[in-house]
């Protein structure tokens, strides 16, 4: 079920919203947790356009519905013409019927250029790109003629909802994300008077009026257009704060969970094959938690993530027996099979419905908007687990599922809860780099990086990419991406074992020789790492004048660098260490000299209590984080050793003479402390 759309519709504004709120995929998490350069994320410029919608939803007494929608998209500039010139509408074949009521280009002078309905293209969507296949989803493409800057495309569609994904229920949602240029828009919801249909307006900027006429209750909601505002780096979901409208026939989330479980419970049958497999997986294991861990690891290693949706399969899992037979399934299929294997060993479990993205609220009325993923809970051990995260130890979740409101459901009923917040001690990254600078300036070294918790999960994911790319090619690419081209090789640990820690080792030689001489400076080498350096990722990117809550994570990052200089080379000045402490984090750096080896140690610990940080925290940590970044970019400065004055001959019995002699033996030329702390 890890998909942002329940198949109700695919309109322009829905696609824009879903693009910014979809669940956190493994690749996204790898990109955020790894060293810059390990993965790439493309940006996208917003088109110069405005959007207005007029929607009428009529819910019938039997909870079927009709949705009539007119969208008006105006091209404010040339860049928007290509963006709005083709509109797509999706519908679920067998559950819905789609009609194109009207489609035309409205010229700037008011003329209408109609779309030739013979040019409509109906096809299956291009699914499967993310292992998701929507077998009964159809997409209609409307191509608008004679479109120029200043023109408006107008499209009116009617969708008849004949039956819902949940039998006997209807729900819908419309959002007005503030980062998109919506003009004044109107949404009407018409329901039979007294019918159990919940209509709610959340966020600010929508006027809501309700009237009753005869046997109908009319909800009229008017959105007043406002200038769009930019998304803030790392901000939580638009669904947690921006204007939105929800319609649902569910009384509450517990009611929705009961409907889900009514359809899902039959898939947990413990067949003889499942019993044999559970016994085989746990053979020789007596401890019950260890049995649960072994089952979790087996599912993660042996069941591929592939989602094939048809009708109610969007929310109803396949049977455990069929998942085992196919050896693939989506998130709820993984949970169902794991639950059946646990049940075969007498271990109880519960399905947990959750948002896998950056939404941290669960507002009423109940829809599937905030529940796009399924994980599992084992009451006996008070442990959540995600069997779709194939790189995670039992009980380690993805970053997007910590500190989240969730819905538990099992034969014992449904209830709401919250997943645990992250603890710094559980998620650690340690990077140790040893570098040798030869007399000719050649730089070589090795880096060993070890992670626990989410850092171990992502390190395994990166290691999987390394194994596919090639150990030497991946090292060369990474060295080039961080601005230190060279050659090297990664050594990765076993990917099939899910231990508490995971390590990746790398050896490297840089192409460019360095010049170590008086009056020069060199950056402190960071080595060939795969995970983010101290201070990166955990508290996100900085955003000046932040006004929105942002995601923040707890964890501990340690970086140790040992730089050994060949005989005859000058040694760098010794820097003073420093401690930076705020309510959110503590950072420490330390520098020392051991013979001809310069040793650096940096440690960053984020100790936030939850995964949503208030915007006020940005101002509280901004200066301190700049100081951390400055420390991370400190350089090794070299200077000529001072000339030693001649030592006068004194009486060896003089205390002053003995003190001077001692000081002369301990002094190291060129290692006077720097006046700057780093």
The DSSP line for 492-509 is E--SS---SEEEEEEEEE
State the virtual CA torsion across 463, 464, 465, 471 in degrees, nearest 10.
60
Residues 6 or more apart whose Cβ sits within 8 Å of residue 577? 588, 589, 590, 591, 677, 678
Lowest mean pLDDT among 42-46, 185-189, 458-462, 471-475: 42-46
pLDDT, tens only, 555-603: 999 999 999 999 999 999 989 999 999 999 999 999 999 999 999 999 9
Q: Which CATH class is domain 12-249?
A: mainly beta
**Pairwise CA distance, residues 308 & 403, whole Å:** 29
- For 2-47, the pLDDT digits (tens) are 543 332 232 333 333 322 333 333 333 444 444 433 332 333 444 4
Compute the average pLDDT of residues 610-615. 98
What pLDDT sits at residue 40? 28
| Residue 144 burial (CB count, 10 A) | 24
621 — pLDDT class (breaks 50, 70, 90): very high
pLDDT tops 70 at residue 420: yes
- What are the tens digits of pLDDT across the range 337-368? 999 999 999 999 999 999 998 999 999 999 99
Instruction: Output the pLDDT for position 200.
Output: 96
Amino acid 67: pLDDT: 96
**What is the reported pTM?**
0.86
- Of 3.50.50.60, 3.10.620.30, 3.10.20.30, 3.40.50.720, the CATH number of 257-420 is 3.10.620.30
pLDDT given at position 648: 61
Of residues 529, 601, 532, the one with CA closest to residue 562 = 601
How confident is the model over 250-305, as pLDDT tens digits?
A: 999 999 999 999 989 888 899 999 999 999 999 999 999 999 999 999 999 999 99
pLDDT on residue 297: 97
Give the pLDDT score at 43: 36
Task: Give me the pLDDT at residue 436, please.
Answer: 98
What are the boundaries of each domain within the chain? 12-249, 257-420, 425-637
Indicate if the pLDDT at residue 128 is higher than 90: no
| Average pLDDT along the chain | 87
Contacts 24+ apart (CB under 8 A), 83-86: 83/47, 83/49, 84/47, 84/49, 84/144, 84/147, 84/153, 85/143, 85/144, 85/147, 85/153, 86/141, 86/142, 86/143, 86/144
Q: What percent of the chain has a predicted confidence (pLDDT) above 90?
A: 74
pLDDT at position 670 is 30
pLDDT at 672 over 60: no
- Judged against a pLDDT cut of 90, whether residue 397 lies above it is answered with yes
């Amino acid at each position: 079920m890890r998909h942002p759309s329940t198949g109700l519709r695919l309109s322009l504004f829905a696609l824009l919203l879903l693009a910014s709120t979809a669940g956190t995929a493994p690749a996204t998490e790898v990109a955020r947790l790894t060293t810059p350069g390990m993965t790439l994320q493309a940006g996208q410029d917003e088109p110069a356009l405005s959007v207005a919608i007029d929607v009428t939803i009529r819910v019938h007494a039997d909870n079927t519905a009709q949705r009539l929608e007119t969208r008006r998209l105006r091209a404010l500039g040339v860049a928007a013409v290509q963006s709005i010139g083709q509109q797509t509408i999706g519908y679920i074949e067998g559950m819905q019927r789609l009609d194109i009521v009207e489609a035309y280009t409205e010229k700037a002078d008011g003329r209408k250029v109609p779309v030739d309905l013979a040019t409509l293209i109906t096809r299956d969507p291009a699914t499967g790109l993310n292992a998701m296949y929507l077998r009964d989803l159809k997409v209609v493409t409307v191509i608008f003629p004679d479109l120029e800057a200043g023109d408006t495309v107008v499209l009116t569609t009617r969708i008849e909802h004949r039956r819902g994904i949940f039998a006997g229920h209807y729900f819908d949602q419309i959002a007005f994300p503030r980062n998109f240029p919506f003009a004044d828009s109107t949404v009407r919801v018409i329901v039979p008077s007294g019918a159990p249909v919940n209509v709610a307006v959340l966020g600010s900027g929508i006027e809501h009026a309700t009237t009753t006429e005869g046997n109908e209750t009319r909800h009229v909601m008017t959105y007043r257009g406002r200038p769009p505002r930019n998304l803030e780096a790392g901000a939580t979901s638009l669904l947690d704060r921006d204007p939105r409208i929800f319609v649902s026939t569910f009384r509450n989330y517990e009611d929705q969970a009961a409907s889900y479980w009514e359809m899902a419970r039959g898939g947990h049958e413990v067949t003889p094959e499942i019993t044999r497999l559970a016994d085989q997986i746990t053979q020789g294991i007596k401890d019950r938690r260890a049995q649960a861990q072994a089952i979790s690891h087996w599912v993660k290693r042996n069941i591929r993530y592939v989602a094939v949706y048809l009708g109610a399969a969007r929310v109803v899992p396949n049977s455990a027996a069929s998942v085992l037979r196919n050896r693939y399934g989506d998130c709820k299929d993984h949970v169902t099979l794991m639950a059946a294997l646990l049940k075969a060993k007498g271990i109880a479990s519960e399905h947990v419905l959750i948002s896998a993205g950056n939404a941290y609220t669960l507002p009423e009325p109940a829809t599937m908007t905030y529940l796009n993923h399924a994980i599992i809970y084992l009451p006996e051990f008070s442990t959540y687990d995600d069997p779709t995260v194939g790189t995670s130890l039992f009980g380690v979740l993805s970053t997007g599922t910590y500190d989240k409101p969730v819905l538990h459901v099992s034969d014992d009923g449904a209830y709401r809860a919250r997943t645990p917040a992250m603890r710094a001690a559980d998620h650690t990254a340690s990077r140790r780099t040893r570098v040798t600078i030869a007399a000719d300036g050649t730089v070589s070294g090795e880096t060993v990086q070890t992670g626990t918790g989410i850092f171990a999960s992502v390190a395994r994911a990166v290691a999987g990419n390394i194994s596919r790319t090639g150990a030497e090619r991946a090292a060369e690419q990474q060295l080039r991406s961080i601005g230190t081209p060279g050659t090297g090789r990664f050594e990765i640990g076993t990917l099939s074992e899910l231990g508490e820690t995971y390590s990746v080792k790398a050896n490297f030689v840089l192409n460019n020789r360095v010049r170590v001489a008086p009056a020069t400076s060199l950056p402190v080498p960071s080595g060939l790492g795969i995970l983010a350096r101290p201070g990166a990722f955990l508290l996100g990117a900085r955003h000046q004048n932040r006004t929105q809550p942002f995601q923040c994570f707890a964890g501990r990052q340690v970086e140790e660098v040992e730089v050994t200089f060949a005989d005859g080379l000058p040694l760098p000045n010794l820097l003073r260490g420093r401690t930076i402490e705020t309510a959110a984090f503590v950072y420490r750096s330390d520098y020392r000299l051991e013979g001809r080896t310069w040793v650096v140690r940096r440690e960053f610990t984020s100790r936030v209590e939850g995964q949503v940080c208030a915007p006020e925290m940005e101002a509280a940590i901004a200066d301190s984080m700049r100081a951390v970044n400055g420390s991370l970019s400190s350089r090794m400065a070299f200077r000529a050793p001072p000339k030693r004055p001649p030592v006068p001959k004194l009486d060896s019995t003089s205390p002053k003479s003995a003190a001077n002699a001692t000081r002369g033996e301990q002094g190291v030329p060129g290692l006077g402390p720097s006046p700057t702390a780093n």
